[in-house]
Structure 1
Amino acid sequence: MTSPGTPLQRQPRFITLEGGEGAGKSTVLAALREALKATGEEIVATREPGGTPLAEQIRGLLLDTHHEPPTADTELLLVFAARAQHVRETIVPALQRGAWVISDRFTDASYAYQGAARGGDVQFIAELERRVVGIAPALTLLLDVPVAIGLQRARGRGASDRIESEREDFFERVRNGYLTRASAEPERFRVIDATQPADVVAAQAVAHLRAFIERAPA
């Protein structure tokens, strides 16, 4: 746990993937993992909510459609509870070993989903980020896709979870939240048009990764 005034620690080997439903993050994550194998170093691929046994149980609570829906505050706190466990038990130990870490979603998702879409207090989210997360990725790839296309893809995979069952206007706010963050931090974000064929999106993501590695200090 960090103090309120402690700045987030940018992690040079920490990469995150963000985007709305049906953006194709799983395909891109697999491509990035394969590309990083060329370094000969350890690669940890993970996801949020999740990434540890306890955090995966919290994920189940968050996405389950069969129990009472959590309030917006409950959802936010559950997400950060899972993230705190994920950071301490999976991400930080891997980074300390010198591994590359790629996460399907991280704290940007809370600003988009619990902040922009649910109307949560952004300052409170930032406070939680500083206190219980403390780290930030050095590179974030945002897979951007129009809401109608993304939902068609996501709902074509089978039964929808609690988040996927939200209305389209909810996901429009998610998308706008992501694009706003990307505009505010252009040095970290790379926005990719995810309406393109999956192999093209994956290739562009790998190209961004390689450019990032080339620019990194030795």
Structure 2
Amino acid sequence: MSPFADVNDLLDQYFDTLYHCDLEKFDAVFHPQAIYATADETPLLYRGMPAYREVIAQRRSPASRSEQRRDFVDAIEFAGDNTAFARVRCSIGERDFVDLLSLVRTEGHWRIIAKVFQIIERKEKAMPYVNIKLTREGVTESQKAALIKGVTDLLVDVLQKSPATTMVVIDEIEMDNWGIGGLPVEEYRRTRATLIGDSENTDQ
């Protein structure tokens, strides 16, 4: 492959490392002597690879939370045969990151020797809120849990909403507080059942 393709492959593995918290890929993409730093923490945050690797090992992966991936490569520049630079963006939780990655080619492989990054706090445009209203007729706890999970999964799949900020509220309404077509719900059901029964008798 060309040097550009090799670096692109490295960056794909880098994004996978962060999204899946994959330690095997971590060891492949980072040089053992690499540094990790940001001035967006006070005091300045600096880590070597053993400390950063432990952070990844302890983190719950974005993949396990079904987070939407936002991986972008903005630029790749080569200073020579063994030195390059990449500006990339990604997201973890409610934060977006701009990562400036210094790359070196050693023993025929490109690896990250320095990661310096900017943190951008993301504000959700809207917190999804779904209100399900049911008549109080013995809906079980497991059925309610299934409704909550089903609605949350639907919003994640269709609108790419974060499950961490999706709210589902189930209200159970007493039968005498619910009406349809100008009638209390129980009377409405009896009337409808009678009409359907009469219709079936006529058909016969």
Specify if TM > 0.5.
no
Question: Taking CA–CA contacts closer than 8 Å with sequence separation of 6 or more, which of the two structures ends up with the larger relative contact order?
Answer: 1
**TM superposition score category, shorter chain reference:** under 0.3
Select the structure that is richer in helix. Answer: 1
Higher strand share: 2
Larger Rg: 2
TM-score normalised by the chain length of structure 2:
0.21
Q: TM-score, normalised by structure 1?
A: 0.20
